[in-house]
Structure 1
Amino acid sequence: MTVPEPTATALTGDCANCFGLCCVALPFTASADFAITKDAGKPCRNLDTEFRCGIHTRLRQQGFGGCTVYDCFGAGQQVSQVTYGGTSWRQAPQTAREMFEVFPVVRQLHELLRYLGEALRLAPTADLRALLAETEALAAGTPAELLALDVAAHRGRVNTLLLETSERVRAAVPGKKRDRRGADLIGARLAGSSLRGADLRGAYLIAADLSRADLRSADLIGADLRDAKLHGADLTDAFFLTQPQLNAAKGDAATKLPTGLTRPPHW
């Protein structure tokens, strides 16, 4: 049986069909990213009665930059409209705690679906397709099933196949490829560097200068790009790169992006 890949729409946050779950379920601490401290399960002071953010268009100016680099990968609407059938935690307060615990689980599964879908486009295999179908089935589970799931173990299985995909794709890139997996490159001066086909999985690139760098066909899964300078960089065909990573970085009109990702407004 052929299993269709998840659509981009299904794996993109749809706030209009969510009960403000990221604004309630998740905790944050007063810092450069958040103007206040909020406990898990407590609604953010900016969340209105219609589950909308009252300062959505002014988040960065109001000190909530951390919100602008977050993406639930569609878990919000999945939990709100499917798992709980459109009944909000305000309508049924007895479900609130459970709903807030289910949301992060589904968010992780949807993130894995996003990576698996990309891997299938890059180098399709039967194993990838089977694991995608399994992950979709898990994400559609009941609250009890989701809370009983060993997400870390499932993520490990997915990561094995994603790593195999990365190695297969990068092997086809001509020339010597750099292995900087998990490297500490905080503040590194890499302007104009040739990083084509590089393994940058989990690399710490915080505030690194990657201006005009060649990042084509580089594996960027889990790379920390907070405040990284991507001005004029070429990210064409860079893979396992997500919108939140781009939102956390700095770039300009000359930055070349992979298909499916958008230029952040603050660039």
Structure 2
Amino acid sequence: MSDRGDPMPGRQDLRADCGRCAGLCCVVPAFTASADFAVDKPAGQPCRNLLADFRCGIHDRLRDRGFLGCVVFDCFGAGQQVTQVTFGGRTWRDEPGLAPSMFAVFTVMRQLQELRWYLTESLELLPRGPLRDEVSAALERTARLVSAPAAELESFDGAAYRQEVGQLLGRVSESAREGLRGADRRGADLIGAKLRGADLRGVSLRGAYLIGADLRGADLRHADLLGADLRAADLGGADLRGSIFLTQPQLDAARGDAATALPAALTRPRHWSSSAAPQSRRKRRR
């Protein structure tokens, strides 16, 4: 549910524009009452907080009202693409018969838009050569899929395509971290881990569970963070410059402060501390 601007050119359509969407993220997913959601909600049913104009009735109070899962969700622009392009401005509320198709397409579209984010970043990481050409071709194919008609997207196997592109992204990561690659901690259980001040440069933390981890002052430059779970992780004073495949939802789920160094394409979450806590200050490595 993001409406942030994008400081990096070329990614404008990979940012959510809730004003041009039909509230799809408030309808399509299922919610389970938990630390992330205050209520249960079945898939395909509107959230009780969704207003008639598709705005969220508690948007400015989501965190306080127990809807952290909504705060950290980002569709990467899938919502407006489905609403305005795939379905030409038509909505499931005005035409209920569209709902099954529209909801199915949104699920696939979000996967495609997220892959476009990673592939766009990959082009920025790679020098000219065969691997970059492969990434460029994958990005072009993904862009074509995004523009495909609803019937094609409904039947598209998004999970299989994600796995295919994921293998390519793995090769990009290896190339980008060449000479810096540290330990391989892919999928590692690091829940609550004490990693304060750790040197994690070039480490693969792809899919790692870093929930509640203490990463204050950690050096995460060039670390692969694709799919890493950073919920409630403390990134105060951490250096994330040059980290690979980090997304805004991951940052939104974590904690940080004014001393946390971020990649240029991402923005500091509003709920982060505006000052640098004493324990998070550290001397930047060069």
**C-alpha distance in 1 between matches for 2:74 and 2:19:** 14
SS of the aligned residue for 1:225 comes to coil
Alignment gaps of 5+ in structure 2: 1-7, 273-286
* 2:111 pairs with one of 108, 113, 121: 108
Counterpart in 1 of 2:171?
A: 164
> What TM-score, normalized to structure 2?
0.89
Counterpart in 2 of 1:147?
A: 154
Residue type matched to 1:74 in 2?
A: G
Residue type matched to 1:156 in 2?
A: Q
> What TM-score, normalized to structure 1?
0.95
Counterpart in 2 of 1:202?
A: 207
Task: State the 1:184 CA deviation.
Answer: 0.8
Offset from partner CA, 1:132-185 (integer Å, 9 cap, x none): 111111111111101111112211221111111100110143xx6121111111
**C-alpha distance in 1 between matches for 2:123 and 2:164:** 15
Residue type matched to 2:220 in 1?
A: L
SS of the aligned residue for 1:250 comes to coil
* 1:256 pairs with one of 252, 258, 261: 261
Task: State the 1:6 CA deviation.
Answer: 8.7
**C-alpha distance in 1 between matches for 2:13 and 2:157:** 23
**C-alpha distance in 2 between matches for 1:9 and 1:52:** 21
Residue type matched to 2:141 in 1?
A: E
Measured on the aligned residues, the alpha-carbon RMSD in Å equals 1.3
Does residue 131 (structure 1) correspond to residue 134 (structure 2)? The answer is no
SS of the aligned residue for 1:171 comes to coil
* 1:11 pairs with one of 9, 14, 22: 14
**C-alpha distance in 2 between matches for 1:30 and 1:177:** 38
Does residue 68 (structure 1) correspond to residue 71 (structure 2)? The answer is yes
**After TM superposition, where is structure 1 displaced by more than 6 Å over at least 4 residues in a row?**
none
CA contact (8 A) 1:6 1:113 kept: no
Identity among equivalent positions (%) equals 60
Please, which moves more after superposition, 187-196 or 94-103?
A: 94-103
* 1:190 pairs with one of 192, 195, 206: 195
* 1:241 pairs with one of 246, 255, 258: 246
Paired residue total: 261
